[in-house]
Chains A and B, each alone.
Chain A
Amino acid sequence: MIYLRLYYEFFKTGLFAIGGGLATLPFLNNMADTTGWFTRGQLADMVAVSESTPGPMGVNMATYVGFTTANIPGAIIATLGLITPSIIIILIIAAFLRAFKNNQYVIAAFYGLRPASTALIAAAGIGVIEIALFNEQNTGNFVSFLQSANIKAIVLAIIIIILTRFIPQTKKWHPIIFIMISAVVGMIFHFAGV
């Protein structure tokens, strides 16, 4: 029964992939090898589509792989499989935290956790800057890194910094407005160079 197998495979992925969407990739590679539902080449295309469509990447990948394997029911079952372990584990942790929220050790742990969590997001953000504002073909030294700068993207980023941080009227705009404007600007000025 392909649906049960699909649910089981994605449940496993959701249970063992720690740290976000890209962490599911090794599991999907393994799924390609062991089940024969899709090839690794197809998977590379699915990653590209998942990155280029709205929605969290990990969820997009599960939906796409499920759809490729067993059409619409496959898409739904794969996604449900992926999110089931998360829901169960987080509900247990949330109940635990509620029970111990005034415990001094829990409070002290979060005192240390919060700056670390912020730091991990900042580090991930710096990783995005590298992909977004610099081209891939730099050879690793500092000069070639500077030469690989995508000037158009950097100008756009600076304009968005000004609009979101310094101009009172545009500061209040919803983030999606800036995302939409950036998409249009990228299309008009051929940001990807194609």
Chain B
Amino acid sequence: MTSLWELYITFFKVGIMTFGGGYAMLPILQREVVENKGWATEAELADYYAIGQCTPGVIAVNTATFIGQKTKGVAGGIIATLGVVSPSLLIIIALAKIISNFANLAIVKNAFAGIRACVCVLIFNAVCKLWKSSVIDKITFIIFLTVCLCSLILNISPVFFVLLAAISGIVIKQVEARKK
């Protein structure tokens, strides 16, 4: 039985290991939440990211609330979210007091240039894992390709793609059902 404390500590760890936005959190979530704890599947993570991208708020917080809620109900949702934001509070408060120009230090700039190179590989690996549970046939492959290219070329909000993809899913399944 998962305790609220375990949920808090796990999401505290996820928060502290996330460098960048919600996308950088994905490889950490796959390791900690899917592989180590088994609280969600890869497919469910894809669902949470889809919803997290088209609902208000920071994606990392939306995803934490989802997984917490699934594991331990409403209290779980709140505790997981508090866990994921706690490291930010501690680290920013500590840093702001010591140095205000932290981001301009040469050593910090160099370290983060290295971390960014690593994070783009980790996101690529994370996408490969999600691919296995989301791109399962020709139609889903076409949806993947269309959305990926369009969102790279056009400057359109992800909300539009998420809604369109959901509607396409419903229409395609209806058409398939009619054929049978």
Contacts and interface: CB of A to CB of B under 8 A. Distances in A.
Contacts of B165: 112-113, 115-117
Interface of chain B, helix or strand or loop or mixed? helix
Most A CB within 10 A of own CB, among B19, B27, B118, B174:
B118
B173 interface: yes
A82 B19 CA distance: 19
Interface in A119-160: 119-126, 128-129, 131-133, 150, 153-154, 156-157, 160
A184 B74 CA distance: 40
Given A156-B118, A157-B120, A86 B50 contact: no
A34 interface: no
Given A53-B95, A112-B167, A156-B114, 11 more contacts: A51-B20, A52-B109, A55-B16, A57-B20, A105-B170, A110-B169, A111-B172, A114-B130, A118-B131, A119-B146, A119-B147
Contacts of B101: 45
A179 B89 contact: no
Interface residues of B, number: 106
Interface of A: 14-22, 24, 45, 48-60, 63-64, 67-68, 72, 75-76, 79, 82-83, 85-87, 89-91, 93-94, 104-105, 107-126, 128-129, 131-133, 150, 153-154, 156-157, 160-161, 164-165, 174-176, 178-179, 181-187, 189-192, 194
A87 B143 contact: no
Given A16-B56, A128-B116, A132-B117, A112 B66 contact: no
A160 B147 contact: no
A111 B173 contact: yes
Contacts of B141: 115
A133 B95 CA distance: 28
